[in-house]
Amino acid sequence: MGYDKGVEVFPTTTWSAGAGCHGGCGQKLYVKDGKLIKVEGDENASFNQGRSCPRVLALTQYVYHPDRLTTPLKRVGKRGEGKFEPISWDEAFDICEDKLKSIRDEFGAESVVFAQGTGRDVGGPISYLCYNYGSPNWVQLGLSGQSCYTPRLGGMKATMGDFAVMDAGQFSAKRYDDPEYEVPKVIIVWGQNPPPTCSDGFFGHWVVDCMKRGSKIISIDPRNTWMSTRAEHHLQIRPGTDGALALGMLNVIINEELYDKEFVDKWTYGFEKLKERVQEYPVDKVSQITWIPEKQIVEAARLYAINSPAAIHWGVPIDMNPEGTSVAQAIAHLWSITGNIDIPGGNVIARPSHGVTTYPYSTEELVGLYGQDLVDKLNKSRIGCDTYPMVKGFRGWAQPDMAIDQIDSGKPYPIKAAWIQTANILGGQAARAKFHYEAMKKLEFVVVIDLFHNPTSMALADIVLPAATFAEKDSFRSWWVPLGVMHKTIQVGECKSDWEINIEMANRLNPNCKYQNVKELINDRLSVAGVTFDELVEQGSQAMPSKGHSSRPYRRHEKGLLRHDGKPGFTTETGRVELYSKAFESWGVDPLPFYREPAQGPVNTPELYAKYPLIMITGARSHMFFHSEHRMIPWLREKDPEPYVEVHPETAEKFGVSDGEWIHLENDMGKVKRKVRVSLRVHPQMIHTLHGWWKPEMKGSEPDLFGVWDYQINQIIPGPQDSGSGFGGGQYKTTLCKLSKIKE
Amino acid sequence: MSKYGLLINYDYCTGCQSCAVACQQEHGFPAGKCGIKVTEYVYAAVRKPVAIDFLPFPTELCDLCINRHQQGEEPACVKHCQAACMAFGSLAELVEQMEVTPRSVLFSPR
């Protein structure tokens, strides 16, 4: 294939910078004379079956953008002045090594935080560097309550001992045509409009594929979306009340005896206690809390329960509920008591493909990589572990809200430096964004690794290191399936991959490092799969686990494929799905699901609600952007040029604002600019706007910082997290505000 | 190429714009120039209070990817469509297909 002599085609796997996303697609890179000229979806990759999103199709504009960082930089002016000069990699590594060693000698390794953003090909490299340096503080700094997937993972782990995802046939290369596979009869799409997202290892359009093959949709969404308008039932929920809805649906299914009695008897623990708990959530009460009519709740619960197989696909609003882990637990109970676990077309248990760890998701994986001793030692001084047992017991991440408070206060121990890797904290995830800015300015030393300058690098960086896109690096991915490799096909400037940078730094900071180079590390991690990096490249970059492997469905609990002891059952203390969670009990968290009102809102803060009568929903996706990225890519930006706010026509009239007008969204924390889009998509009592906005075309130096303080919506999102476990409850979807005219 | 066209089942078009960016990449069009444009329609409706539809429209720059066709490949928009709701073929074939595909539109761009 190819149009021209001299064009070579390289199939590879996507993950992180470039398309920006959580990855998994197979894409073919067309390269001529060492230059990327085109990207096409790989028909042989079962994940996307030849399809591509607009972001990956714009890869040439991303890779060769004139603003790409292509050499290491050293700050020469004051912080924020925007004065940097190019330095060599050696000099950059030397400066980082000296500085990080002297800080470790004087204050201890825990005084350096290693900050990442979303779940991309950075979790592996950054945890590797963090652990080799000896710091316990690997953190999604800014992400209040770590409210992106981690609470859901925690809720599932505490219930089933494993994670689960909707089965769209993704675990078989034959996909929908695999005779073992069955399309879900009903899919609950909970808090997501899947087409613009490919989050958490799930290609959004898989739901669309299933709809074409007959799946009926129950959409739970406060907004009208493409998905909700095609649903059998659209439950237009009040943001932040998903926990009540899940408990109400459990109430219907249990009291009407629509659950799978055989599965419940044989495979679950604590059903009677759950039954008792759900009596506190009768449908009339739930209807009042959620603003969803009673009849719809009952009908949706019945439709889901009486159809088998049925699946639930969920989004980040679950995590952003107050007590996000508890909400996730309640939803996991829905698929558990209806017997939809690990069956074709249900919610199947998801494990890293072939047992390969790229990005350690659980404490067990961290122990596997770094040993029990180091993990135990680091657990002792991790930020948040004394306050929240779940921070200690589940995953190896520091609690982000406490981390920024500690950076600010220096208590209980000082934080001196931050290693910020492909995370635009100030322009992206940070709730209380201005507080993050003020607090982080106190840091003695800040390294930013990224592909473009952004508000974070401009405001804070002492050293900037240029990172590579997925087309420019060797790496690997095992986020569920497939097992995939990225292999380097082009070089841009002096950019290096996150793995290259961090392995070099780790070797400088720890003389006993396990690996000298990237290939060594990848091949060692791949060894459990019985395959090498080069072999995977040879095979077209992706492989699926074979039948009978513990990372391949179905019905593994019956076959003894889940537990270390090889016995049938689940990887929980009781060997059953724990409807009453022993793990939560041991972490001091309510073992049964419960509902709590959002911190702000008509119920909890009526006075504030009178002053700011609109519930602001943020954090949804544009097809064009991944979080705070891609605003500088011409083909993408022209299709979504300005940060808009969706306002219902009645609401627009009430506030006297009109379509296309620039206004402020305002609350006690400040105000942010938005362009009005009058739309029936939103409920009259809610508005909706996208996050991650800054303007690369504006001046980067202070005070402009690319317009971040004009457009960063998270500066009016409060903190800390609204949850008692430390996980969940970022207030990104429940904050109150009003619309105000911009005064000239 | 007058016999060929694009059949778009707009019930499934999610407005992702892969068709548009694929077109720009294929033809080397700069931003502002494109062989296919996607429009959103949000309106009061019957089945649900609100309906949301998207419709890609081939502009006069659409050449049905004649170069790709000669190589035996589908047009760039059809190949990359994430909802797989676009088809390329002879108008005769597409009309037949249209009879069993409600909520679809047939374009004969050239």
Q: At what angle do helices A372-381 and A363-370 cross, to 10 degrees?
A: 120
Q: Does B31 contact A638 at a Cβ distance shorter than 8 Å? A: yes
Q: Output the pLDDT for position A391.
A: 84
Domain co-membership, A322 together with A380: no
Q: How far apart are CA A57 and CA A37, in angstroms?
A: 11
Does residue B102 sit within a domain?
no
Q: How far apart are CA A663 and CA B34, in angstroms?
A: 31
Mean pLDDT of all residues in B51-67 = 97
Q: Is the peptide bond before A554 cis (omega within 30 degrees of 0)?
A: yes
Q: How far apart are CA A36 and CA A732, in angstroms?
A: 38
Mean pLDDT of all residues in B64-92 = 97
Domain co-membership, A142 together with A154: no
User: Residue A428: phi, psi to the nearest 5?
Assistant: -125, -105
Domain co-membership, A165 together with A252: yes
Range of the domain at B44: 13-86
Q: Give the type of residue at A22.
A: H
Domain co-membership, A201 together with A253: yes
* B51: three-class secondary structure by DSSP: strand
Statement: residue B2 has pLDDT above 80 = no
What's the distance, CA A465 to chain centroid? 24
Domain co-membership, A686 together with A664: yes
Give the CATH number, domain containing residue B65.
Answer: 3.30.70.20
| Contact by Cβ (8 Å): A195, B15 | yes
Does residue A600 sit within a domain?
no
Report chain A residues whose CB lies below 8 A from the CB of B82. Answer: 51-53, 195, 204-205, 208
Domain co-membership, A218 together with A323: yes
Name the residue facing A60 among B20, B25, B82 (closest C-beta): B25
Does residue A80 sit within a domain?
yes
Residue A84 to residues A70, A74, A180, A455: CA-CA distances in angstroms? 13, 5, 58, 14
Domain co-membership, A188 together with A319: yes
Domain co-membership, A201 together with A343: yes
* B52: three-class secondary structure by DSSP: strand
Name the residue facing A38 among B25, B42, B79 (closest C-beta): B25
Name the residue facing A54 among B16, B30, B44 (closest C-beta): B16
Domain co-membership, A280 together with A345: yes
Tally the domains of chain A: 3
Q: How far apart are CA A23 and CA A16, in angstroms?
A: 6
Q: Give the type of residue at A229.
A: T
Read off the DSSP letter of residue A341. B
Does residue A203 sit within a domain?
yes
Q: How far apart are CA A202 and CA A48, in angstroms?
A: 10
Name the residue facing A53 among B42, B79, B82 (closest C-beta): B82
What is the least distance, in Å, from the CA of B75 to any CA of chain A?
Answer: 12
Mean pLDDT of all residues in B102-109 = 95
Does residue A593 sit within a domain?
no
Report chain B residues whose CB lies below 8 A from the CB of A40. Answer: 79-80
Q: How far apart are CA B78 and CA B64, in angstroms?
A: 10
How far apart, in Å, do the first and last CA atoms of chain B sit? 7
E-strand ranges in A205-351 read 216-220, 233-235, 268-269, 310-314, 347-350
| Six-digit token string for A223 | 């907004």
Tokens 């209040």 locate to A144
A196 interfacial to chain B (CB closer than 8 Å): yes
Q: How far apart are CA A29 and CA A12, in angstroms?
A: 7
Please give, one letter per residue, the 3-state secondary structure of A640-694. Answer: CCCCEEEECHHHHHHHCCCCCCEEEEEECCEEEEEEEEECCCCCCCEEEECCCCC
Which helix (H) or strand (E) covers residue B39, if one does? strand B36-44
Q: Output the pLDDT for position A3.
A: 60
Q: Give the type of residue at B104.
A: S
* A86: three-class secondary structure by DSSP: strand
Does residue A601 sit within a domain?
no
Does residue B91 sit within a domain?
no
Does residue A38 sit within a domain?
no
| Contact by Cβ (8 Å): A436, A429 | no
Tokens 């088809």 locate to B87
Statement: residue B1 has pLDDT above 80 = no
Walk along chain A (744 residues) in steps of 10 and give the mean pLDDT of each run. 79 94 96 98 98 98 98 97 97 98 98 95 96 96 96 96 97 98 98 95 97 98 97 98 98 98 98 98 98 98 98 98 97 98 98 95 86 91 92 86 98 98 97 98 98 98 98 97 97 98 98 95 97 97 96 98 97 98 95 97 97 97 97 98 98 98 98 98 98 98 98 98 94 98 86
Domain co-membership, A273 together with A404: no
**Vertex A716, ends A715 and A719: CA angle to 5°?**
85
| Contact by Cβ (8 Å): B33, B61 | yes
What is the interface pTM, i.e. ipTM, of the complex? 0.98
Q: Output the pLDDT for position A19.
A: 94
Q: Output the pLDDT for position B46.
A: 86
Read off the DSSP letter of residue A281. -
Report chain A residues whose CB lies below 8 A from the CB of B24. Answer: 635
Quick one: residue A596, left, alpha or beta (phi over 0 = left, psi -120 to 50 = alpha)?
beta
Read off the DSSP letter of residue A446. E
Does residue A59 sit within a domain?
no
Report chain A residues whose CB lies below 8 A from the CB of B26. Answer: 38
Read off the DSSP letter of residue A706. G
Range of the domain at A340: 150-352+562-586
Domain co-membership, A334 together with A436: no
Residue A743 to residues A225, A547, A664: CA-CA distances in angstroms? 33, 65, 10
Q: What is the CA radius of gyration of chain B?
A: 14
Does residue B57 sit within a domain?
yes
Does residue B73 sit within a domain?
yes
Tokens 């796997």 locate to A13
| Contact by Cβ (8 Å): A410, A438 | no
Q: Does B18 contact A54 at a Cβ distance shorter than 8 Å? A: yes
Q: Give the type of residue at A577.
A: V
Give the CATH number, domain containing residue A308.
Answer: 3.40.228.10
* A450: three-class secondary structure by DSSP: strand
Domain co-membership, A108 together with A81: yes
CB within 8 A of A424, min separation 6: which ones? A117, A450, A454, A455, A456, A457, A627, A628, A629, A692, A694
Tally the domains of chain B: 1
What's the distance, CA B22 to chain centroid? 11
What is the least distance, in Å, from the CA of B24 to any CA of chain A?
Answer: 8
**pLDDT, tens digit (0-9, with 9 covering 90-100), for B24-45:** 999 999 999 999 999 999 999 9
Q: Output the pLDDT for position A1.
A: 44
Does residue A434 sit within a domain?
yes
A57 interfacial to chain B (CB closer than 8 Å): yes
Enumerate residues 631 to 690 of chain A having a beta carbon within 8 A of any beta carbon in chain B: 634-639, 679-681
CB atoms within 10 A of CB A401: 24
CB atoms within 10 A of CB A607: 7
Give the CATH number, domain containing residue A126.
Answer: 3.40.50.740
Q: Output the pLDDT for position A2.
A: 47
How far apart, in Å, do the first and last CA atoms of chain A sit? 58
Give the CATH number, domain containing residue A715.
Answer: 2.40.40.20
Does residue B97 sit within a domain?
no
B66 interfacial to chain A (CB closer than 8 Å): no
